Amino acid sequence: METGGPRRGRIHGLRSFRQRGVDPRTAIFEREGFTPPAPEAVDNAQLRGRLWELIYALAGRRIFLDHTDHLDDRGLYEWLDAFLDEECADCPPEAETNYRVDVSDQGSGTDRGIETWLRYYADATGRQQWADDFPKDHIPPAEKPPHDRDRFLPEPPQPLPEWIPSGDDDDPLGLAGADSEIRIEDLKEEIAETTGEEFTETEFADLPPAAEEAYLEQVRDLERDGWQRPIDQLAAQGSAPLPPAELTDETLAANSGSCCTTSPAAAL
């Protein structure tokens, strides 16, 4: 069961949504510290900047606009000013609920909204379908919208394509393998410098990079500490374990309590 992350954020957002209820959108934005000026307070010099400021403020609350190209900047700003006065549910962004607004008002069912949609936004199939469904309605001629804004409007966030690594990937560029190879070669050089001879490995050549790196780190540390194999240490002391061929009940009994002895051959 998840206890954090996006799912928890959505649950928290939906809980907040139930608690907040319904308010005019202006009140919702005021709680966020944003109050767009009234249309009459915005002169032509600042109109476009104020309009896009409002458009992106709406997008920040997951409110996205469609079909705005029939309105000039002031017309759209005035339309949005009226839109902000409408009451709506205060659904926080954490709920991940997107709200699309058709500025043509086609969905309102008004004659003006339907005519605007048919004139500027409906394709040939949509226009023909409307004529078939409502043969008494006047179908205005298709026209290109007088403004070019819709293609620049913000869009809801989309899931990442599969070929793009997710944000949870600790190695989005796939460099960990290259870093590990470099580290392995560096360790081999350190071992060679410590021992005075080139380091070669055969038994552990097929280890995964992470395991090989850990193994080489142990070898380097042991070589730096002057580690010797136990058999080499015994040889340096003039002692050696009995060869396997000389291990008999008699020799084992004679040397009980001792881990090693001088070889009979060496005593001669």
If residue 66 lies in a helix (H) or strand (E), which one and from where to where?
Answer: strand 63-66
Domain contains 263: no
40 and 133 both lie in a single domain: yes
Confidence (pLDDT) at 12 = 45
Domain contains 249: no
Confidence (pLDDT) at 160 = 62
Please give the Cα distance from 157 to 153 (Å, whole number). Answer: 13
Band (pLDDT 50/70/90 cuts) for residue 1 is: very low
Domain contains 242: no
List the domain range (segments joined by +) for residue 217.
174-225
Domain contains 122: yes
pTM higher than 0.95 for the full model? no
127 and 221 both lie in a single domain: no
Residue 60 tokens, joined:
């920040």
Domain contains 49: yes
124 and 219 both lie in a single domain: no
179 and 68 both lie in a single domain: no
97 and 195 both lie in a single domain: no
195 and 110 both lie in a single domain: no
76 and 134 both lie in a single domain: yes
Question: What's the domain count of the chain?
Answer: 2
Domain contains 204: yes
Confidence (pLDDT) at 155 = 92
27 and 62 both lie in a single domain: yes
Minimum mean pLDDT among 79-83, 84-88, 184-188, 221-225: which range?
Answer: 221-225
Check: CB of residue 84 under 8 Å from CB of residue 26: yes
Check: CB of residue 77 under 8 Å from CB of residue 51: yes
Closest CA to 77 of 108, 99, 46, 106: 46
Pairing outcome for strands 22-24 and 63-66: unpaired
19 and 139 both lie in a single domain: yes
Please give the Cα distance from 6 to 52 (Å, whole number). Answer: 29
Residue 129 tokens, joined:
């379908």
Residue 257 has pLDDT above 60, yes or no: no
Domain contains 14: yes
Domain contains 98: yes
The residue ranking higher by pLDDT, 120 or 20, is 120
Please give the Cα distance from 261 to 247 (Å, whole number). Answer: 11
